[in-house]
Amino acid sequence: MADHQEASVTLPSDPASVATARRYVAEVLSEWGLPDDADTADSVRLIVSELATNAVQHTFGQSPTFTVDVRLERQEWLRVGVTDSHPRWPKRLPAAVQQDNGRGMVIIRWLTAEAGGRLSVTPTEDGGKTVWIALPWSVGAPVRSVSGC
């Protein structure tokens, strides 16, 4: 396997694109050897859903598309980034119990930290930003057993 693999997709900033982004990343990870039922695969799918949702909802129509980048570096780190062209960076908001939204970044931070990873935000040349997560890669990630089968 190569030292560096990457895949990318650009999608319209539309709520339907969130599911497309999630499926795309799941397919890439499966091609790279991560079982669909691995804990890491579940976490990455949820993280991608939250990042893509943020790119659609919080750019207020100012980013007509968003891009999902998936990179596997030296079989050690999985990096997933979602880029949009809106200049506002994500804010850390307290997630009130009664609040219906605003927990996306809290979920992303928690899942990333739980997996031993890191979260970062980098500016783009066009004034937007990319929100990145980096997770340790383990193709031999534990697979949950399914009882009753």
pLDDT in tens, 52-98: 999 998 877 788 999 999 999 988 999 999 999 998 888 765 655 44
26-44: average pLDDT: 93
State pTM to two decimals: 0.84
Sheet holding 118-123, edge to edge: 4-12, 65-73, 77-84, 129-136, 118-123
In this prediction, residue 143 has a pLDDT band, given cuts at 50, 70 and 90, of: very low
pLDDT for residue 17 is more than 90: yes
Average pLDDT over residues 31-60: 91
Q: pLDDT at position 100, please?
A: 56
Which residue spans within 13-128 are E strands per DSSP?
A: 65-73, 77-84, 118-123
CA nearest neighbour of 65 among 25, 126, 11: 11
Rounded mean pLDDT of the chain? 86
What average pLDDT score do residues 12-16 get? 95
pLDDT at residue number 138? 77
What is the reported pLDDT for 13?
95
